Amino acid sequence: MANPSSMSAYNEEALLRQWQAGSESAFTAIYLHHVLPLLRLATAKLGSRAVAEELVQDTFLALVDQRAQLDPTLGVGGYLAVLLRRKIYNHYRQTLLQASYQTHLRIHFNEHSRDTEASLELTEIERLVQEGVRKLPQQCRSVYQLSREEHLSHQEIAERLGISYHTVEQHIRRALRGLRQQLPGYSWLLALCCCVKNLGS
């Protein structure tokens, strides 16, 4: 099997076939070819580089999940763009839902009761997060815990576990995606839990 890095020109059909056969370097070549255009698209739509990076990574995770079903003759550029636009739409929708929820709190609770409600809800979310972490696949769970509990960098995790930096990044994204799916409508509280844990450590 040819090494993708040795190819004189980008050949997506060949790379997709190699990736479907198990070549991680082929996936890296595909990723590097598409990631910057997708980032430009997402940043232009969202106005936030950080959010754009997260949604682009989630888009590639979705591509990984569909690897076996991809038709190499069709390429993935258009498919990635469609996936990303859906994620941007869902992000806006979730942002509106969060704003609606926060408005509901302001209207229906005074300052004291709102603080109490938030504290109780945060405790419950932290419990659910821990349950969700225990359900993650073993290596995904290990990577997540090293990142969130031991506060290791992605490179430090890669060296400790003997895996690539890119694999660490994918495990982190997969773990966060899994936790968000278990806590629909509460991604903002999930982020808050992570921030509180990091500040308190």
CA pair distance 89, 95, nearest whole angstrom: 10
What pLDDT does 3 receive? 46
What is the model's pLDDT at position 4?
Answer: 44
pLDDT by residue for the chain (201 residues), tens digit each?
A: 444 444 447 899 999 999 999 998 999 999 999 999 999 999 998 888 888 898 999 999 989 988 889 999 998 999 999 999 988 888 888 777 666 655 655 555 554 444 555 555 556 666 777 777 888 888 888 888 888 777 778 888 888 899 988 888 888 888 877 777 766 655 544 554 444 344 333
Q: For the chain, how long is the longest CA-to-CA vector?
A: 66
Q: What is the pLDDT of residue 125?
A: 63
Q: Which alpha helices (H) appear in the chain, and where do they start and end?
A: 12-20, 24-46, 49-65, 77-108, 111-135, 138-148, 154-161, 165-182, 187-200
The tokens of 178 are what? 């899994």
pLDDT of residue 127: 73
* This prediction's pTM: 0.49
Q: For residues 146 and 160, what is the distance between their CA atoms, to the nearest angstrom?
A: 10
Side-chain half-sphere of 42: how many Cα atoms within 13 Å?
31
DSSP 8-class letter at 137 = -
Specify the pLDDT at position 32: 93
Strand, coil or helix: 69: helix
SS3 category, 74: helix
Domains of the chain, start order: 12-108 (1.10.1740.10), 110-201 (1.10.10.10)
CA 12 to chain centre: 24
Structure tokens at 118: 């938030």
Query: What does the block give as tokens for 182?
Result: 């278990």
Q: To the nearest 10°, report the CA torsion of 136, 140, 142, 148.
A: -90
